Structure 1
Amino acid sequence: MKAHLACARMEFRVALTYRSSYLSTFVMMLLQIYLLTVVWSAFYDGREEMDGIPLATMTAYATLSTLQYTLVNPWRSSPIEQRVREGKVAVDLLRPIGFPGQMLSGQVGWVSASVPVLLVALPFALLIGAGSAPASVAAGFAYPLALLGALLVSQLLGLLLGMVAFWTLEVSGALMAYRFVAQFFSGALVPLWFMPGPVRAAAQWLPFQATAYTPAAIYLGQAEGTGILAALGVQCAWVVVLGALAALVWSRARQRVLSQGG
């Protein structure tokens, strides 16, 4: 556990070292929250609700999805790609914890650096009327669990994408495509309830919706009672599937490191 915490602390300090990038992310997130609130208010055009979704719920969803996506999907290049290209992965294999554990712990540290930003953004969202309380007591208790599930799914997806570098050495193009697909199908841009039927069905079968839509829907009461348990169950299922897939890919990637010498 100490080794994992050390990896997390190291990446936390690295994230805070690049202050200009850190502050620009903070400013852009606040601007995105404000613009989304303005856009959705204009889209509703004075109507109280659309397709059964009140404007207040929609603006709260836009705020939550933006904050969540900043937390669980930090915009950074894959550390695996750089370590593979520079041969540093050979040193990583000598450390007392496994390589995937090092990468996931480092990502947790990097994500933790976003928490202070979110603590400032929440009052801002309430100030412009884009925030709301949990829809129910059950939603309030289930939301942290859903947020944890979103973080696990997101980081496992990132780990899988990063390990592609063991075969290609370069994943920047794949990362750009992944960001677009993940942001759209996660519901971070448009909630699943506004998507056309076929697109929504596709999104529900993909793991991305577990990273943004699921926590926000639970918080806002779009999933209630057994719906909350079902949503959390889907997240858990994806964690198991992606974890097993990551273990399989790493077993193959490690053989390439041993055969190529890093």
Structure 2
Amino acid sequence: MSAAAPERIVPARLGTAAGSRALLACAGQAWRAQFVFRAATWSGIIGATLQVVLVMLVWTAVYGARTEVAGVGQDDAITYAVLGAVIATVFQPFVYDTLYGRLRTGAIAFDVMRPLSAVPMTLAQQAGAAAAQLPAAGIALAVGLLLGALDGPGSPLSGLAFALSLLLGFTIAQILNFMIGLVGFWTLEVSGAFHIYRMFVQFSSGALIPLWFMPDWLSGGLSLLPFSSQVFVPLTIYVDPAPGPHTLTAIAVQALWVLVLVLLAALLWRRAIRRLVIFGG
């Protein structure tokens, strides 16, 4: 059975100011949605705080009386682990229900005709949902500071480079989340793909175990993937007492990954849209 090619629709586009307001509204709506259920909000805060306490206890026990393992000092390892847990709380909200719901109901067919494209709208919703994790991350971070589990950056320059690297890491995480959400165009179900992705990215990004402590063949392979740019690269910059050309190289690689992933996401989006068949003209 053959189907006629869908009619190409060229929607009107919003101006820059109107588009920015619409994206902020999408982000705000996603932010507020995260606080609808108070029990879920408190469980997120408690979970993030417990994770910080647990990783501090685990890495303290791993080091024991030793001050250094594999060339990494105990204080640096604990700081890395605590910050890694906090960053993962914000980076990985995995908001896939927006695309999923629109695909299941068929509303995605209207999204391609809206003045505001579904792509920036979904990314804005992801950013809003991630921002909603900041209170939990902030409380967990405060607990880490009270417990003395956090040291400052290796140097003032390391702190500045860390902020830039963290922004690039967040961008990479959100693009990858969006690309996983596009799986729904082929399967109409994305929760399984997200759970698999979540387990993989927590390990390969260095959020659970720093790449320092992995075998060379494994850490070398993971460093070639974009996942390490989400957590491991920013945190290694944070604890680095002597930033230099290697820091600039690491940030440049992150920027390159952003460009590559944007192009891949655009290609995947075009292929996904081609799967839509709009009946009735």
* Structure-2-length-normalised TM-score: 0.89
**Alpha carbons of 1:153 and 1:78: their partners in 2 closer, same or farther (altered >3 Å)?**
farther
CA shift for structure 1 position 59: 0.6
Q: Residue 140 of structure 2 aligns with which residue?
A: 121
Distance 1:222 1:198 in 2: 26
Distance 2:140 2:89 in 1: 11
CA shift for structure 1 position 88: 2.0
Letter in 2 for 1:30: T
CA shift for structure 1 position 198: 1.1
**Alpha carbons of 1:225 and 1:70: their partners in 2 closer, same or farther (altered >3 Å)?**
same
- Higher normalized helix content (fraction of residues): 1
Match of 2:218 among 199, 203, 209: 199
Distance 1:44 1:195 in 2: 16
Match of 1:90 among 85, 88, 109: 109
Specify every segment of 5 or more residues in structure 1 that has no aligned partner in the other structure, as ranges. Answer: none
Q: Residue 47 of structure 1 aligns with which residue?
A: 66
Distance 1:145 1:251 in 2: 30
Match of 2:158 among 134, 139, 144: 139
Deviates more, 1:200-209 or 1:84-93: 84-93
Q: Residue 234 of structure 2 aligns with which residue?
A: 215
SS at match of 1:95: coil
Match of 1:167 among 169, 183, 186: 186
**Alpha carbons of 1:77 and 1:183: their partners in 2 closer, same or farther (altered >3 Å)?**
same
Match of 2:56 among 27, 37, 41: 37
Q: Residue 149 of structure 2 aligns with which residue?
A: 130
Distance 2:219 2:112 in 1: 41
Q: Residue 243 of structure 1 aligns with which residue?
A: 262
CA shift for structure 1 position 79: 2.4
CA shift for structure 1 position 123: 1.8
Letter in 2 for 1:10: Q
Distance 1:247 1:49 in 2: 45
Letter in 2 for 1:58: A
Letter in 1 for 2:188: L
Distance 2:204 2:262 in 1: 20
Letter in 2 for 1:92: D
* Structure-1-length-normalised TM-score: 0.95
CA shift for structure 1 position 118: 2.2
Contact (CA 8 Å) 1:61, 1:220: kept in 2 or not?
yes
Q: Residue 24 of structure 1 aligns with which residue?
A: 43
Identity percentage over the alignment?
Answer: 38
Distance 2:235 2:24 in 1: 29
CA-atom RMSD, angstroms? 1.6
**Alpha carbons of 1:206 and 1:78: their partners in 2 closer, same or farther (altered >3 Å)?**
farther
Contact (CA 8 Å) 2:95, 2:126: kept in 1 or not?
no
Higher Rg of the two aligned structures: 2
Distance 1:223 1:11 in 2: 40
Specify every segment of 5 or more residues in structure 2 that has no aligned partner in the other structure, as ranges. Answer: 1-19
CA shift for structure 1 position 203: 0.7
CA shift for structure 1 position 184: 0.2
Distance 1:213 1:235 in 2: 11
